[in-house]
């Protein structure tokens, strides 16, 4: 048995490591602020497969389809091109194609019909004037009746946004407190904490308007969790995280399980499918029921944004 184990260890040590793959996959996981499980879910892969990539196991390289998925999740073009090149695409061909697509889109927009989009109107600024309609290509707004535009002011924050930028918003769910319509959507959220909440809650350094993606996850660590409870959380992954304090919570919900279920989920045996089913049912309940915190208000889904020419 010892000799067999030695042979297996020797064979494992002889496996060639793909360090570049391991480095780029890990960098993407951190950029997306995902744990291993969340990263695997985002890619539709098993945790074992993700672990193999993170180890640089050359025996289990990503398929071309997986490389395309990895590239599509990259927040910057250089990393995306690295994965797509591994999938067999030529970097110059990618750049040429993207330039052609932009040209065709712009040409189609210039010759298409246009629609007038109403201003969102006053948000949190008393006496803010109502602005005239904004003319945009009809292709951008399939249903203009539920689309409004907003000109970002000084209280609108985000790493890639600045005052004067124009955002097109789908406001069909504007008055919804329920988070269900917004999972994995890019949303403009207003944070308006009371003075009492600012002094008690983290991270209410966030105040004003922020744009980001609504992400769902299980709350692990940092809080006291009573037996029989599974806490879930919704976070706003803000573009660029300009304040550098991580995604703020926009919603929380705690599920109550029987002690038997809770113990099975909290201390699962290897390969325990029952504990996974219990956790998945709890996750679905949370995603259906969870609401925005009192201090957070969804203004609308982000359809598009642009920066008008600055006056010189």
Span 150-164, mean pLDDT? 70
Would you give the distance in Å from CA 264 to the centre of its chain? 30
Q: What is the pLDDT of residue 261?
A: 85
pLDDT in tens, 170-223: 998 877 889 998 998 889 888 877 766 655 554 446 677 888 889 988 876 555
Q: Above pLDDT 90, what percent of the chain?
A: 7
Q: What is the pLDDT of residue 16?
A: 76
Question: Residue 262 region, left (φ>0) first, then alpha (ψ -120 to 50), else beta?
Answer: alpha
CB 207 within 8 A of CB 192: yes
Dihedral of CA atoms 169, 239, 296, 249 in degrees, nearest 10, equals 140
Mean pLDDT, the chain, whole residue set: 77
Longest CA–CA separation in the chain, Å? 81
Domain 15-94 has CATH 1.10.260: yes
User: Alpha helices, DSSP H only, in 89-239?
Assistant: 91-111, 195-200
Task: Give the residue with greater pLDDT, 143 vs 240.
Answer: 143
**Portions of the chain given CATH number 1.10.260:** 15-94
pLDDT of 72 strictly over 70:
yes
- 3 state SS of 36: helix
pLDDT in tens, 91-140: 665 565 555 555 554 555 444 577 888 888 644 444 445 578 888 887 77
Q: What is the pLDDT of residue 199?
A: 58
Residue 80: pLDDT band with limits 50, 70, 90? confident
pLDDT in tens, 263-296: 887 777 777 788 888 888 999 999 999 999 888 8
């Amino acid at each position: 048995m010892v000799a067999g184990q030695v042979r297996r260890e020797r064979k494992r040590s002889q496996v060639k490591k793909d360090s570049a793959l391991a480095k780029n996959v890990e960098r993407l996981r951190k950029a997306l602020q995902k744990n291993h499980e969340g990263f695997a879910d985002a890619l539709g892969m098993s945790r074992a497969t993700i672990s193999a990539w993170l180890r640089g196991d050359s025996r289990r390289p990503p398929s071309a389809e997986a490389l395309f998925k990895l590239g599509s999740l990259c927040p910057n073009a250089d990393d995306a091109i690295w994965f797509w090149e591994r999938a067999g695409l030529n970097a110059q061909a990618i750049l040429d194609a993207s330039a052609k697509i932009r040209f065709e889109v712009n040409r189609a927009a210039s010759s298409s019909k246009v629609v007038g989009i109403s201003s969102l109107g006053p948000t949190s600024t008393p006496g803010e004037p109502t602005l005239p309609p904004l003319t945009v290509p009809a292709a951008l707004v399939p249903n203009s009746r539920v689309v409004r535009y907003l000109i970002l002011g000084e209280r609108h924050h985000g790493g890639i946004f600045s005052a004067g930028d124009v955002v097109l918003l789908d406001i069909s769910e504007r008055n919804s407190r329920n988070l269900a319509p917004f999972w994995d959507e890019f949303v403009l959220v207003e944070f308006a904490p009371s003075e009492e909440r600012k002094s008690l809650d983290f991270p209410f350094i966030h105040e004003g308007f922020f744009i980001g993606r609504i992400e769902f996850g299980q709350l692990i660590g940092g809080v006291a969790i009573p037996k029989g409870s599974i806490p879930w959380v919704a976070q706003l992954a803000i573009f660029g995280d300009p304040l550098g304090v991580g995604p703020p919570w926009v919603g929380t919900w705690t599920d109550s399980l029987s002690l038997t279920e809770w113990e099975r989920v909290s201390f699962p045996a290897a390969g325990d499918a029952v504990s996974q089913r219990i956790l998945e049912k709890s996750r679905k309940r949370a995603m259906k029921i969870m609401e925005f915190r009192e201090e957070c208000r969804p203004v609308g889904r982000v359809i598009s944004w642009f920066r008008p020419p600055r006056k010189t």
